[in-house]
Amino acid sequence: MITVEGLTKTYGPTLAVDDVTFTASPGRVTGFLGPNGAGKSTSMRILVGLTRPTSGTATVLGHRFTDLPNPGLEVRVLLDASAQHAGRTGREILTLSQQMMGLPPGRVEEMLDLVGLTPTESGRRVREYSLGMRQRLGVATALIGAPEVLILDEPANGLDPGGIRWMRDLLRGHADRGGTVLLSSHLLHEIEVIADDIVVIGHGRIVARGTKADLLAGTGTLVQTRNRGPLVAGLDAAGVTFTDHGTPYAGAVTLRVDADPELVGRLAHQADVALLGLRPADGAGLEEMFLDLTADTQRESAA
Ligand SMILES: Nc1ncnc2c1ncn2[C@@H]1O[C@H](COP(=O)(O)OP(=O)(O)OP(=O)(O)O)[C@@H](O)[C@H]1O
């Protein structure tokens, strides 16, 4: 269990993390989603005692990370897969962890098997590893002490589609065995496929939080037409709100309407508007919110 309450961190005038509160529960994969610079890494660094918060608390299994007696056996962290000692071989790095935690030597081989690093690969120096291989080694180091809680910052970075699938199955298995998994990403799709619960952060603040099912449900209807004007007039007359959701092809528009498909179809019919498409907007609300956050970030960095 991870509990973050009222966490705030300022760097001079920059409010990196602003009153962040969330939990990550055992048996579930919690996705921490936000565009670049949203405050994910800072929150995770505070969680594992690498950065001191300005205010608020963060605990893992009921303790501040720095108060855990042998954190490696309870919590493992993969913050930056590139930060591993470049001059050591993968096997040496794992052996060091195994010895430091007082684990049986056989654990090293088990972990290499688990993450799919071959004997030749594990005998090479880390400076010769691809980013994907470093991620695999990072995961092996994270799991060697069989910790209950896993905290991973952008673990899918540098993995190919097969690697992402492997990572997803591995994290799923960990949660299914009762473990707690918190992972961050700036990619909505990645979080959507892996997470059970989602916490969305933008500009240091939590902007949405809930189960994936809840966040993806109840987001209305996507409707496509070449007759935007009459359709919008019909929706307005019925007091139904909507947002523009792009142009699927020349001359047509997509709207996301805050009503179920049946009502939207009926209103379109009354307005004598031909529709090109009508379907539940699964996840479109979350996608819009996330695109807005990302666009804000891009506008700011361009300014
Ligand atoms: N040591 C620091 N000194 C000053 N500002 C910092 C420091 N660390 C982070 N920041 C600022 O805090 C904000 C949040 O950064 P953070 O790295 O937590 O974001 P992030 O969500 O992890 O982004 P990314 O997806 O790009 O890794 C940014 O504006 C960043 O510039």
Ligand 1 centroid to Cα of residue 292, in Å, is 19
The verdict on the CB of residue 186 being under 6 Å from ligand 1 is yes
The per-residue pLDDT for 83 is 66
With a cut of 0.90, is the ipTM above it? yes
Mutate-to-test residue for ligand 1 from 40, 80, 153, 183, highest number of ligand atoms within 8 A of CB = 40
Q: Which residues of 83-107 are buried (b: 16+ CB within 10 A; e: fewer)?
A: ebeeeebbbbbbbebbeebebeeeb
The verdict on the CB of residue 202 being under 6 Å from ligand 1 is no
Ligand 1 centroid to Cα of residue 61, in Å, is 26
In the block, residue with structure tokens 């939207």 = 264
The per-residue pLDDT for 288 is 74
The verdict on the CB of residue 80 being under 6 Å from ligand 1 is no
The per-residue pLDDT for 113 is 94
Q: At residue 301, does pLDDT exceed 60?
A: no
Mutate-to-test residue for ligand 1 from 7, 41, 200, highest number of ligand atoms within 8 A of CB = 41
The per-residue pLDDT for 192 is 84
> Of the candidates 149, 104, 124, 117, which has an alpha carbon nearest to the alpha carbon of residue 4?
149
Q: At residue 190, does pLDDT exceed 80?
A: yes
The per-residue pLDDT for 235 is 95
Q: At residue 271, does pLDDT exceed 60?
A: yes
Residue 116, Ramachandran bin (φ over 0: left; ψ between -120 and 50: alpha; else beta): left
Ligand 1 atom 26: the closest Cα is on which residue? 36
Instruction: Identify the weakest region by mean pLDDT among 20-34, 144-158, 169-183.
Output: 144-158
pLDDT bucket at 145, cuts 50 / 70 / 90: confident
The per-residue pLDDT for 154 is 86
SS3 track for 151-164 = EEECCCCCCCHHHH
Average pLDDT over residues 90-118: 92
> Which domains are present in the chain?
2-211 (3.40.50.300), 221-281 (3.30.70)
Reported as a single tens digit per residue, the pLDDT across 26-38 is 999 999 999 888 9
Is residue 86 within 8 A of residue 126, CB to CB? The reply is yes
Average pLDDT over residues 113-123: 93
Q: At residue 302, does pLDDT exceed 60?
A: no
End-to-end CA distance of the chain: 40
Average pLDDT of every residue of the chain: 88
The per-residue pLDDT for 300 is 60
Reported as a single tens digit per residue, the pLDDT across 58-100 is 999 899 988 887 776 777 777 765 667 788 999 999 999 899 8
The verdict on the CB of residue 42 being under 6 Å from ligand 1 is yes
In 10 A of CB 257, how many CB atoms?
Answer: 24
Q: At residue 53, does pLDDT exceed 90?
A: yes
Average pLDDT over residues 6-13: 95
Mutate-to-test residue for ligand 1 from 42, 183, 186, highest number of ligand atoms within 8 A of CB = 42
The per-residue pLDDT for 81 is 58
Q: At residue 246, does pLDDT exceed 60?
A: yes
